[in-house]
Amino acid sequence: MPLENFADRLLAAIDTRNTPLVVGLDPVYDRLPRAISGHRELNDGDDLEAAVDALLEFSTRVLKIVAPLVPAVKINSAFFEPYFSYGVEAFQALVQEATAHGLLVINDAKRADIGNTSERYAAATLIEPPFDSLSEHAAPDAVTVAPYMGSDSVGPFISAAQAHGKGVFVLVRTSNPGAAEIQDVLLQDGTPLYQHVGKLVEKWGAPLIGERGYSSVGAVVGATNPEQLATLRGLLPQTLFLVPGYGAQGASAGDVAKAFNADGRGAIINSSRAILQAHLNPRYANLPWEKAVEAATRAAITEIRSALHAARG
Amino acid sequence: MPLENFADRLLAAIDTRNTPLVVGLDPVYDRLPRAISGHRELNDGDDLEAAVDALLEFSTRVLKIVAPLVPAVKINSAFFEPYFSYGVEAFQALVQEATAHGLLVINDAKRADIGNTSERYAAATLIEPPFDSLSEHAAPDAVTVAPYMGSDSVGPFISAAQAHGKGVFVLVRTSNPGAAEIQDVLLQDGTPLYQHVGKLVEKWGAPLIGERGYSSVGAVVGATNPEQLATLRGLLPQTLFLVPGYGAQGASAGDVAKAFNADGRGAIINSSRAILQAHLNPRYANLPWEKAVEAATRAAITEIRSALHAARG
């Protein structure tokens, strides 16, 4: 059986769930429900196992709530790496859990190195572990990759994606303020660097275009600068955009609307804090934590889904 | 007691060991001595713990041999991440072991994300773990960082370095062939992107200049293009260069000579494969593996040290 193209799988999941919303699973210990983290407040999380258990308990609960509602989750490795080997185990457990719930998983690891070293990062982030003791572990469906080192640095991720039916999202124009300092620098022909990188991504992705017309090599394009988003949408017709910046980082539904092609396809919109930290709203303060997280997460997702639905037109 | 500046510590260690050579500890399972990995050859390393034990046994042996001979080791996280939590534990054990032997440790992780997420990567890579169960674990002395996302992405690493007496090496011009595609792109004033990034690094490093005149914010500058190396040396007088590409990637001692200022300072030269895989030379085939690794590693280091000594003038 040939492996199904990642872009096709993602587009099918977007259709099934009827939303391009992706939940960013970036759990922060001191933003967990106090019922989980509160009793360890005095020692400020210095018990490593207890801290990771709390993150995992919360994240697993969120996964179960969001699984029927969205096509994918994006899990950022940075939120687990400060917990060292326990963090890696928790990250793996969440990938496993999300996959079991039918969610696609994007590993937001922003990796890259010289070619033979990128091969190792691709093995760590995209390929099912070859070890007997991890034979039940699912690998993520896609990974984010940094472009600064060029084709032979990004290439091993793309090769792994092609061989294993996975995806790659290359940073093109990120959502943070400092991005302009490098990504918006003008080249000799008067165009900014991010467009040069975007065109490379479209080229790299050409061999991985699926039946629905999009490549499994996508681009990370922030929504905080909607004009640039619109420009890139026009330049890269076959590239799927992973769009961060919605909500907490300041972009509106109208802003992210520019990420979609005329057919309402071509992008997934990530929201992390607006969903994960919704339970902190005082209106949920009197509920048991499980109920608070469920009600808050559902309400946040419903609101964002509606806004995006209207924006996609 | 104020924390000593990382650049000062590194320069003092270079003086003590009388060489700017850094050993890149990037162990590859199928390039280990067969006495360690050979009996597991039939199942191709699919026993995760056994594979990591073999990598650790070899790497620990190499650390002991090189500790009196060089100022620092560079450990690339990518060579451990494919082993998941076991790999992270092995990585931590090697940092611990290297530190105990008096070596400075550079974590070649090439991380970066938006600001609040970079803070987490800085915690994972540069700061001693705050957890009781890891209270004996040393953190690396420096980390490599990718620049594409700009100041607010690199900033948290620099803040952590400043607060904890650590260092940061930002990718400026890497040694791989594909680097040219993005890093050499010409800007409107006719200068290439890598010079723009280099100047940002020199600016970011200004507040972290030590008593010896160099900043704890350094730059990764490959030796595979010696003209660019010379240009950057002239442009960034107070930036320490971490120079990969010597040996296996094709750069000669004459090439890397351009990384040094007139006083013979300003750079560390990394060699990985030429040292770590020296024991595979058939001339050592009849020795027990420990003797082979010791003889081969010493010979490789002696040869590179001499070549660099001549090159520094």
- Interface pTM, i.e. ipTM: 0.96
Are B146 and A187 a contacting pair at CB < 8 A?
A: no
Count Cβ atoms below 10 Å from residue A100 Cβ, excluding itself: 11
Arithmetic mean of pLDDT, B162-181: 97
CA angle B89, A93, A1 (to 5 degrees): 110
Q: How far is CA B283 from CA B27, B65, B296, B307, in A?
A: 21, 19, 9, 22
Phi, psi of A7 (to 5 degrees): -60, -40
Dihedral angle over CA of B94, B99, B105, B107, nearest 10:
40
Question: Rounded distance, CA A228 to CA A213, Å?
Answer: 23
- Contacts with A85 (C-beta within 8 Å, 6 or more apart), sequence order: B85, B86, B88, B89, B92
* Beta pairing partners, B173: B221
Q: Which chain A residue has the Cα nearest residue B52?
A: A131
CB pairs under 8 A between A and B: 219
Question: Rounded distance, CA A264 to CA A267, Å?
Answer: 8
Count Cβ atoms below 10 Å from residue B226 Cβ, excluding itself: 18
Question: Rounded distance, CA B159 to CA A311, Å?
Answer: 39
Q: What is the pTM of this model?
A: 0.97
The model's pLDDT over B59-116, given as tens digits with 9 standing for 90+, comes to 999 999 999 999 999 999 999 999 999 999 999 999 999 999 999 999 999 999 999 9
Residue A39 predicted with pLDDT over 60: no
Question: Rounded distance, CA A228 to CA A243, Å?
Answer: 12
Structure tokens belonging to residue B134: 């890891």
Q: How far is CA B139 from CA B70, B96, B133, B240, in A?
A: 19, 8, 14, 21
Show the 3-state SS of A168-181.
EEEEEECCCHHHHH
Among candidate residues A99, A79, A103, the one with its CA nearest the CA of residue A91: A79
Nearest Cβ partner for B113 among A78, A85, A117? A78
Question: At residue B79, what is the residue type?
Answer: F
**Which of A:228-267 have CB within 8 Å of B?**
244, 249
Chain B: give the shortest CA distance to residue A146, in Å.
Answer: 7
CATH of domain A6-312: 3.20.20.70
Q: In B, which residues are within 8 Å of A76 by CB distance?
A: 113, 117
Structure tokens belonging to residue B239: 């930036």
How does A267-279 read in b/e, with b if 16+ C-beta sit within 10 Å?
Answer: bbbbbbbbbbbbb
Nearest Cβ partner for B84 among A115, A129, A190? A129
Are A120 and B82 a contacting pair at CB < 8 A?
A: yes
Arithmetic mean of pLDDT, B182-194: 98
Are A82 and B120 a contacting pair at CB < 8 A?
A: yes
Chain B: give the shortest CA distance to residue A308, in Å.
Answer: 24
Residue B313 predicted with pLDDT over 80: no
Q: In B, which residues are within 8 Å of A49 by CB distance?
A: 133
Are B188 and A193 a contacting pair at CB < 8 A?
A: no
What is the reported pLDDT for B42?
45
